[in-house]
Amino acid sequence: MIDDLEFLDDSTRPAPARFDNLTIAQRAPGRHLSMIHNHFRQNMEMLRDMIRQAAAGEVTPEELQKQAEAMPMWQNYRQFGALCGQHCQIINTHHSIEDQSIFPALRERSDVMRKIVDRLEAEHVIVHELLVRLVGALNDLVRTPGPSAFAAVKELYETLDSVLLSHFGYEEDAIGDALGVYEVMV
């Protein structure tokens, strides 16, 4: 399911930009970015636990549906579609905003920022591909439920979870302070 996808080696990421003596106001955009990422992290954790429970047979489909409907993101986005599909769309929108607004503003500031932004954009391509594949696998699971379809969803979700959490951490470290220093609002 993911053998044909070329993943980036985290050890090849450019070193984060470092700034000294930042004011509270300069740190605010980076904290805001972290808050947005924390929302995604919380939702990923809830989804991970639901997948674990389903795989272990600890919940019935009805119980799983009730758990999903109780999730904050389900309640917040119910009118827009399916739980994971909506979560995937929100992450895609978040990355599109970064790619179209935040990254161009940072890229022009220095060679260091250009290298960091180039890397973050390359990571966005991989995250996007994983999102597309996960939505496809979920659609396959709905059409043809069974162990192999569930295994495909689980593998894609776990890969996305790992890649996305690593990406969020790097992005916060690499550009969090730069957002405030260069007055780029999140």
Distance (Å, whole) CA 127 – CA 145: 25
Inform me whether the pLDDT recorded for 59 exceeds 50: yes
Q: What is the DSSP string of 40-68?
A: HHHHHHHHHHHHHHHHTT-S-HHHHHHHH
Range from 11-15, 60-64, 94-98, 173-177 carrying the lowest mean pLDDT: 60-64
Residues 72, 141, 123: CA angle, nearest 5 degrees? 65
> What is the model's pTM?
0.82
Asked if 186 contacts 33 with a C-beta cutoff of 8 angstroms, the reply is yes
pLDDT bin (cut points 50, 70, 90) of residue 76 is very low
Domain ranges of the chain: 23-181
Inform me whether the pLDDT recorded for 70 exceeds 80: no
Asked if 64 contacts 50 with a C-beta cutoff of 8 angstroms, the reply is yes
Architecture of domain 23-181: Up-down Bundle (1.20)
Block residue for tokens 């890649």 = 163
Average pLDDT of the residues in 70-74: 56
**Which position has the higher pLDDT, 79 or 101?**
101
Inform me whether the pLDDT recorded for 61 exceeds 90: no
Output the pLDDT for position 1. Answer: 63
pLDDT tens for 6-41 read 999 999 999 998 899 999 999 999 999 999 899 889
pLDDT tens for 113-161 read 999 999 999 998 998 889 888 878 877 777 787 788 888 888 998 999 9
